[in-house]
């Protein structure tokens, strides 16, 4: 039996996040980059390549040796994503990241500004019971953020999928519009395979 609170949270998330995903082609990719500088948009970025799934049993926050981390290819990918932002005239952004080392390193390698850790972006891969409450917490936080300049959230696949319904590849950007009434809509994705 599903608890009424879970149904309410799921309904709120679905209502608040009406999803319209457009396939990103070369001609409309520039529109997505432009959206990030137009206000009321943000980018969700899945951390770049980190071989494996989940984290080892000895995982500890703040201890990168205990975590699944970026590969050399993942570090190169993050640097190239930062270059791609600059190529599209985004030289600085407000950046928030999961506290996982692979997300913090991805954010750092973008070289787009100061990184702020945000608990609501932490992975719930091993604790799915946190999915709805954590996603609701992130939605509430996003509704009150100032999106007047480029805004990037570096997080995990499970978080992005719970929030948007999109299953991004490592390093893929999901571009989201926040309407005046506080609803969210995915306007497209940008793949970053190198």
What are 105-160's pLDDT values in tens digits?
Answer: 999 999 999 999 999 999 999 887 889 999 999 999 999 999 999 999 999 999 99
What distance, in Å, lies between the first and last C-alpha atoms of the chain?
46
Is the per-residue pLDDT at 189 higher than 60? Answer: yes
Is the per-residue pLDDT at 1 higher than 90? Answer: no
Note whether residue 152 is domain-resident. yes
- Which residue in the block uniquely carries the two structure tokens 């946190």? 130
Residues 6+ positions from 88 with CB-CB distance below 8 Å: 30, 33, 36
Note whether residue 157 is domain-resident. yes
3-state secondary structure of 192: coil
pLDDT of residue 102: 97
Q: Say how many C-beta atoms besides its own lie within 10 A of residue 91's C-beta.
A: 12
pLDDT of residue 27: 54
Note whether residue 1 is domain-resident. no
3-state secondary structure of 173: strand
Q: How far apart are CA 48 and CA 106, in angstroms?
A: 6
pTM reported for the whole predicted model: 0.86
Bridge partners (DSSP) of residue 178 are: 184
The 10s digit of each residue's pLDDT in 94-106 is 999 999 999 999 9
Q: Domain span at residue 171?
A: 19-52+59-190
Selection from 69, 122, 129 nearest residue 97 by Cα:
122
What CATH number should be reported for the domain holding residue 170?
3.40.50.1240
Note whether residue 40 is domain-resident. yes
pLDDT of residue 56: 85
| Lookup: tokens for 6 | 């879970």
pLDDT of residue 2: 52
CA angle 98, 165, 109 (to 5 degrees): 30
Report the domain count for the chain: 1
- Which residue in the block uniquely carries the two structure tokens 């300049």? 149
Pinpoint the alpha helices (H) of 64-193. 72-87, 101-110, 131-143, 157-164
Note whether residue 87 is domain-resident. yes
Bridge partners (DSSP) of residue 44 are: 153, 174
The 10s digit of each residue's pLDDT in 156-166 is 999 999 999 99
């Amino acid at each position: 039996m599903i608890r009424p609170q879970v149904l309410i949270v799921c309904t709120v998330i679905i209502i608040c996040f009406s999803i319209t995903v457009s396939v990103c082609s070369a001609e409309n990719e520039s529109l997505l980059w432009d959206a990030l500088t137009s206000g009321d948009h943000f980018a969700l970025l899945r951390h770049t390549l980190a071989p494996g799934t989940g984290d080892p049993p000895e995982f500890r926050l703040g201890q990168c040796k205990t975590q699944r981390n970026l590969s050399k290819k993942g570090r190169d990918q993050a640097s190239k994503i930062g270059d791609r932002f600059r190529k599209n005239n985004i030289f600085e952004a407000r950046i928030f990241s999961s506290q996982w080392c692979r997300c913090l390193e991805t954010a750092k390698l973008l070289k787009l500004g100061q990184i702020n850790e945000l608990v609501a972006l932490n992975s719930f891969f091993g604790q799915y019971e946190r999915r709805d409450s954590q996603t609701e917490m992130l939605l509430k936080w996003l509704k009150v953020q100032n999106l007047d300049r480029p805004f990037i959230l570096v997080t995990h696949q499970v978080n992005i999928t719970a929030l948007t319904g999109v299953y991004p590849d490592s390093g893929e950007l999901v571009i989201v519009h926040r309407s005046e009434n506080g609803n969210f809509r995915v306007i497209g994705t940008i793949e970053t395979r190198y």
